[in-house]
Amino acid sequence: MISGTGITKTYRQRGNVLGGRDVRALRGVDFSIPKGGAVSFIGESGCGKTTLGRIIAGLETYESGEIVIDGTPMSSLRPKRREAEFRKIQLIHQDPYSALNPTRTIHQTLEAPLALRARRTGRPSSWVDDRAEELLSLVGIDPGYVLGRYPHQLSGGMRQRVVIARALTVDPEMLVADESVSMIDVSMRLSVLALLKDLRERLGVSVLFITHDIATARYIGDEGELYVLYRGQVVERGLTESVISGPVHPYTQSLLSAIPVLHGLERPGRERVVPTEALDERHADSGCLFARRCPFRTERCTAELPELMRVEEPPIGGLAPLPEAPGAAPHEHACFHPVRRSVIPEEAA
């Protein structure tokens, strides 16, 4: 179980001709990723989802807040011990083309971390090769075919599987997949998502899935949770199916409305909202961060900052809430005027 409370991060920019400014990448984010669970962070570029993913993987510092891995607060540990804890969390890069060293064969790529591990745990060196083959089979590629090859000889989908295999060399508890299918051809995208789902089920690895394509978040398995980030703040969260079928925050509704409709196969959602494009976010806001882009804003929105609150019962907007799994996080939102809207495409008759 990996959780965080009140994580904040500000990127300080030095002044240039355009004037310096600080970018508040994260404004106090809470999250919790259960063991073997699947959590997705979604939002536009610049919403802080990648920064948060990197912080969780131990690759980025944060100013305040606390990350707790298996009950141990990370701030209480010495750097060496902290590093070991963060090794349980492995990041899978977006670009499988640049994530692998082009001058190393796949065998060499996998051998390095495995040999280190063998030395540390006193395993014989024969274990290294066996384990490399085992891991490649686990991610669904033929070890005989790839081991001797270089990255440029493999397709994007295969490279991404090699990257996943490399992450698995340290027996991680969690994989952080940052846009890891966006550069893979559509016909094979699902197979990588299916692999992540499969690793969850077979190894109990939890998956943190970071994407701007909400539809793919549905494919990493059941009882997944979705966090919608906007300008460094979680504006909505809940079970993936609950958020997708009945989004409450206008920003989530905009994101879902922007997904293209497969005309002929689908009809546009009944309450689809017209999304407003990102604005210049340089000047400071009072009140709700989304207010200036929000089609439903009122005076209160520009004066006060809404905090995360539970979706009220009885259901708002006439839609019945999905039954919540016991122990699962409730559907929450940060909006003064919550209305569940049905914005996603419906199956055409």
Partner 1 sequence: MTMNAPRLLRRSRPAGTVSGGAVPGGAPRPDAGPPPGVRVRDLTVVYKTPLGELPALGGVSLTIDPGTITGIVGESGSGKSTLALSLLNAVQPPGRIAGGSVEVDGLGDVLKLKGDELRGARGRHLGYVFQAAQNSLNPLKTVGKQLLDLGRSHGVDDLAALVRDARALLERMGLDGARVLDSHQHELSGGMRQRVGIMLALVLNARLAILDEPTTALDMITQATILRIVREVHKERGLTTLMVTHDIGVAAEVTDRLAVMYGGRVVEHGPTMDVLGAPSHPYTQGLIRAIPRLSGDPAEARALPGRPPTLGTLPTQGCVFRERCPLRMEVCETSAPLPVRREERTVACHAREPYASAAGRGEHA
Residues that bind partner 1 (CB under 8 A): 44-45, 155-158, 185-191, 193-194, 212-216, 218-219, 244, 254-266, 275-278, 344-348
**Closest distance to partner 1 from the beta carbon of 86 (Å):** 29
For the bound state, the minimum distance from the C-beta of residue 87 to partner 1, rounded and expressed in Å, comes to: 31
**Among the listed residues 312, 307, 271, the one whose alpha carbon sits nearest the alpha carbon of residue 287:** 307
Strand arrangement, sheet containing 22-33: 22-33, 2-12, 64-69, 72-73
> Among residues 132 and 244, whose Cβ is nearest to partner 1?
244
End-to-end CA distance of the chain: give it in Å, rounded.
43
The answer to whether 38 and 218 have CB atoms below 8 angstroms apart is no
Contact 228, 252 (CB under 8 A): yes
Measured from the CB atom, the residue of 167 and 273 that comes closer to partner 1 is 273
Nearest Cα to 162, choosing from 236, 99, 81, 83? 99
Q: Identify which of residues 2 and 199 has a Cβ nearer to partner 1 in the complex.
A: 199
Whether 325 and 239 have beta carbons less than 8 Å apart is answered as: yes
82 or 212: whose CB is closer to partner 1?
212
CB 277 to partner 1: min, Å: 5
147 versus 220: smaller Cβ distance to partner 1: 220
Whole-number Å distance between alpha carbons of 57 and 54 = 5
Distance CA 24, CA 201 (A): 36
Minimum distance from CB of 39 to partner 1 (Å)? 17
Minimum CB separation of residue 40 from partner 1 in Å reads 12
